[in-house]
Structure 1
Amino acid sequence: MRQYFTLFIIGLILAFSSCRTDFDTVASTGDLKFSKDTVYLDTVFKNIGSSTYQLKVYNRSKNDISIPIIQLKNGLNSKYRMTVDGMSGTNGKIFKDVTLLAKDSLYIFIETTADITDANPTDFLYTDEIQFDSGANLQKVALVTLIQDAVFLYPNQNPDGTKEKIKIDGKEVDGFYLNENDAVNGNELLFTKQKPYVIYGYAGVPENKTVTFEAGARVHFHANSGLYVAKNASLQINGTVSTSEKLENEVIFEGDRLESLYSDIPGQWNSVILENGNSNHSINHLTLKNAVTGLEIRNTTNTIPIKNSQFYNFVEHGILTKNARINAENLVINYAGIASLSCLYGGNYNFTHCTFNNNWQNSSHFAVNLSNSLTGATPETNPLTQATFNNCIIYGSGTNEFNLSKNTNTAFVYQLNNCLLKFSSSSTNPDYQFKTDTQHYNNIILNENPKFYNVNQNKFNIDKSSSAFAKGNQAFIIPKDILGITRTSPPDLGAYQSQDFPK
């Protein structure tokens, strides 16, 4: 009986199959629909591959169709490449007899790697188009990419095929020392705004030399790259106030992926390291973002002024110091896996009108972490001779955004004056008695929301509804805020003078 039933089912399937005609394809009639009529591939540097972009192609008809050809207009000479439903075609440029079923769709993924010489010399756009079919049935989707010229700095290749190396912490890493008399780039110790710079590996500043970044300079670091300022060398960042959101006069350090997808992703490059020594560093109007650790400062003898600067999106720390000396004004740091500001192994610090926030999504991060020791097999201590915070905001998504790691065998001197502080858990620890310990805490606003404009977009402006409004001490006022706006009296806390938010 089962055998008869099985034969019946098979016969039924064959009968239905013999009635269907849609297993046969018909020629495309030029009625394809597309998810977009132009695919804009975000800005790329010359000869650096883009991200992959998607186009969806729809067959709205009741018939299975065959598209005779899908190709790039520039054919095999095109700087674009595609895959069509997983097929690579001829060099990713030409695809023949592509079947698209009724009421179905296919995916096309597009990438490009182009040189500045391939682009239109007037607007630096490189364009092509995807053509579907030909003649009367021709349909097109435009492709547009902005190619940006740049100065590329990278390790040389040695005669044995290995890359040039420099030593950091006793280890050899891919890197090179900037040369003030380079045969190709000229003075590599002077970064101007004429072209952006792309750095591969660690760019080292030789001992007793100074690297200078002029206002408007743009520096892009490739993966696993960074800037290493050697012992007794100096870093001079000379940004100035900008008049628009383009930050035209800011010095900007970030990764080398220009696509909007990468605009706020931590860990795209490594760090800026300032090695120990007697150096005359100065940092003004720097935006540094998307690194592992933004700025690491080690055993500096001279005090480093850091003014009007922003540090965002880090796997570990925004600023990490070890026995450093800093005088910071109008500094903003946000979003770090360990701490936005972490001052270890003592040092001497003064922070005025600064905003330290941390919205990293775990419970063990801090906005500010202070310590007079280094952990390890043999813990080391060093005096924290001063850590003063005046008119600052210390906030974030965690329960407690302020942490003290004190070794009682050496000095640990700190004081917070007129600060808004996030510390939600009750504590009997004498180090966290914010209302009664006047030696360390004066006029603390505890656990009130500063109402930042948009934390997710790293916009830490406040308005008059903020708990930080007009709560500063006039004695500590910095006359202008991070945007160059004159502060009122009494001043607001943090790096920004309050303004009305746009509606």
Structure 2
Amino acid sequence: MRNLIILLFIGFAISLSSCRQDFVFEPSTGDLTFSKDTIYLDTVFTNIGSSTYTLKVYNRSNKDIKIPLIKLGKDDSKYRMTVDGMTGENNRVFRDVEMLAKDSMYIFVEVTADVADSNPTDFLYTDQIQFDTGSNFQKVELVTLIQDAYFIYPNRTQNPDESYTYEEISLGLDGDGNPINIRASILDENDPVNGNELIWNNSKPYVVYGYAVVPDGKSLQVQPGARIHFHADSGLIVGTGASLKINGELSNTEALENEVIFEGDRLEPLYSDVPGQWGTIWLTQGSTGNEINYATIKNATVGLLIDSNDGNFMTIKNTQIYDSSNLGIYAKTAKIKGENIVINTAGVATLACTLGGNYEFKHCTFNNNWSSSKQVAVLLNNYYKDENNAAVPYDLVQADFINCIIYGSNTYELTFDPASTNLFNYTFTKCLMKFGNSTNTIYASILSNPEIIRNESPKFLNIIKNKLNIGDDSAARGIGIDANVPNDILGMPRTSPYDLGAYNWITFPEEN
């Protein structure tokens, strides 16, 4: 009996399926709806591909429909699209696209265009996604701003097998004795396309592929308002005997029109605070006379790598370094005088003074809210481990912090890592610091120092948005000394009683 019932159910299911008819798709009647009527693809550099943008198309009718044609308006359009995963004819034309009743589909759009393709008055490149170009015509507008730039990239030579050999420089040998080579371009005073590549101005942005190298004995002058964008795994190297002069100036608006800005080459807002988009600015051993003023360095792996500069102090003033995936400033046996520096969020440390060196920081703000239990704001170290795991010591001649804020999300935002055989000198004068109780004797001077305010909040304006201003109820307000830094990072005069960090206190706006 049980088997008979099962056979009856099977027979009934077969009879239903035999009566089923295929879907009947009727021509579209122009009643499609869209998630947006215009797609704004954010600013891209000339001939660099954009991110992918999404349009959702809806068939809200009760009928299965067939769209006779979906296409880009221009036959030679620089846009590309896929429709529900289909590539169509050259990613531009799609015929007889079927949609079920009450269904939707995705269209993904990208663009790669030259500034010459854009409107010469506003540099906008436009097109349309067109649906059913007959009597039921519908459209969605496409708009992109194309920005011209100076492009700096390694030369390449085509090989017989059609592969390419790229211009490289050597960084020495790895631990196994193998050469370390990276793609790089030596900056040229008489480049046939860019002109003098040792002066970076604000006439249009610079886009760097690989590493741009300042050659021995030369100086790279970066003028106010310059914008430098690095591709992935790219950066700037200042060689032996070479120098970097970043000559930014105080800006009058939040656009930072006079500052020099270094960041990645993805201009979409989605990438505005993504760490690790490019490599580093590397001031190599033997580079000389480096000066940085009014610079913003964003989204690098290491913001500044300062490697045994030539014995003279380099200066870093009025400089902001944000969202580094590894370190904000990585100093190795360096000599630095810093004023009005703000560093926020790094995977390891915002400031790492390693292999000894000599440092003086006045009115600086070091904050680290990276989401880990090991990140710190400041790390001091005076040795490294060789291949045999033996400590090779270097003197930390001095590390002076005056009127500084050292803060973050962990209990301890300062780490000492000394080798006892060499100098490990430091002072903290009128500093606010995030630092819990510790039984480690190397921190006894921190715990007993009356010049340090521990575990009181600076109450920053908005850490996520890299706004480390302090307010009228900040614990950093009015407790500093005169450190001979007359203006804060915004150019506002400092008056007694002096505030800690790079900013004078302000009354916060209601929306921050």
Matched, 1:347 2:357: yes
Q: What is the match of residue 313 of structure 1? A: 323
Inter-CA distance 10–134: structure 2 relative to 1 (3 Å threshold): farther
Q: Which shows bigger deviation, 12-21 or 427-436?
A: 12-21
Secondary structure, aligned partner of 2:464: helix
Instruction: State the TM-score, normalized to the length of structure 1.
Output: 0.95
Instruction: State the TM-score, normalized to the length of structure 2.
Output: 0.94
Task: State the superposition RMSD in angstroms.
Answer: 1.7
Native 8 Å contact 1:367 1:396 kept in 2: yes
Which residue type is aligned with residue 467 of structure 2?
A: K
Native 8 Å contact 1:416 1:442 kept in 2: no
Native 8 Å contact 1:304 1:326 kept in 2: yes
Matched, 1:400 2:412: yes
Cα shift readout 1:359-382 (whole Å, capped 9, x = no counterpart): 111111110000111123242111
Matched, 1:88 2:87: yes
Native 8 Å contact 2:239 2:287 kept in 1: no
1:271 is displaced (CA, Å) by 0.6
**1:261 aligns with one of 254, 258, 270:** 270
1:424 is displaced (CA, Å) by 2.0
Q: What is the match of residue 127 of structure 1? A: 126
Q: What is the match of residue 427 of structure 1? A: 439
Native 8 Å contact 1:267 1:315 kept in 2: yes
Q: What is the match of residue 409 of structure 1? A: 421
Q: What is the match of residue 40 of structure 1? A: 40
Cα shift readout 1:14-43 (whole Å, capped 9, x = no counterpart): 665688778212221111111111111111
Native 8 Å contact 2:416 2:442 kept in 1: no
Cα shift readout 1:403-423 (whole Å, capped 9, x = no counterpart): 111111111110001111001
Matched, 1:186 2:186: no
Native 8 Å contact 2:51 2:110 kept in 1: yes
Which residue type is aligned with residue 93 of structure 1?
A: R
1:101 is displaced (CA, Å) by 1.1
**1:251 aligns with one of 260, 276, 283:** 260
Give the alignment of 1:264-303 within 5 angstroms: 264-277=273-286, 279-300=288-309, 301-303=311-313
In structure 1, list runs of 5 or more residues that go unmatched. Answer: none
Q: What is the match of residue 482 of structure 1? A: 489
Native 8 Å contact 1:278 1:302 kept in 2: no
Inter-CA distance 267–144: structure 2 relative to 1 (3 Å threshold): same
Secondary structure, aligned partner of 2:477: coil
Q: What is the match of residue 360 of structure 1? A: 370
**2:347 aligns with one of 337, 343, 357:** 337
Matches of 2:87 and 2:131, distance apart in 1: 16
1:197 is displaced (CA, Å) by 0.4
1:313 is displaced (CA, Å) by 1.1
Native 8 Å contact 1:125 1:145 kept in 2: yes
Q: What is the match of residue 155 of structure 2? A: 156
1:65 is displaced (CA, Å) by 1.2
1:298 is displaced (CA, Å) by 1.1
Matches of 1:81 and 1:260, distance apart in 2: 21
Matched, 1:61 2:71: no
1:490 is displaced (CA, Å) by 0.9
Matched, 1:495 2:505: no
Q: Which shows bigger deviation, 26-35 or 107-116?
A: 26-35
Q: Which shows bigger deviation, 316-325 or 154-163?
A: 154-163
Inter-CA distance 73–327: structure 2 relative to 1 (3 Å threshold): same
Matched, 1:165 2:165: no
Matches of 2:77 and 2:190, distance apart in 1: 38
Native 8 Å contact 1:417 1:442 kept in 2: no
Inter-CA distance 115–443: structure 2 relative to 1 (3 Å threshold): same
Cα shift readout 1:168-194 (whole Å, capped 9, x = no counterpart): 244221112101111221110000000
Cα shift readout 1:130-174 (whole Å, capped 9, x = no counterpart): 111123311111111110000000111136431001122442211
Question: Percent identical across equivalent pairs?
Answer: 54
Q: What is the match of residue 71 of structure 1? A: 71
Cα shift readout 1:210-232 (whole Å, capped 9, x = no counterpart): 00100000111111111010011
Matches of 1:427 and 1:350, distance apart in 2: 28
Matches of 2:71 and 2:194, distance apart in 1: 40
Matches of 1:432 and 1:309, distance apart in 2: 32
In structure 2, list runs of 5 or more residues that go unmatched. Answer: 174-179
Q: What is the match of residue 177 of structure 2? A: none
Q: Which shows bigger deviation, 301-310 or 170-179?
A: 170-179
Aligned residues: 497
Which residue type is aligned with residue 72 of structure 1?
A: L
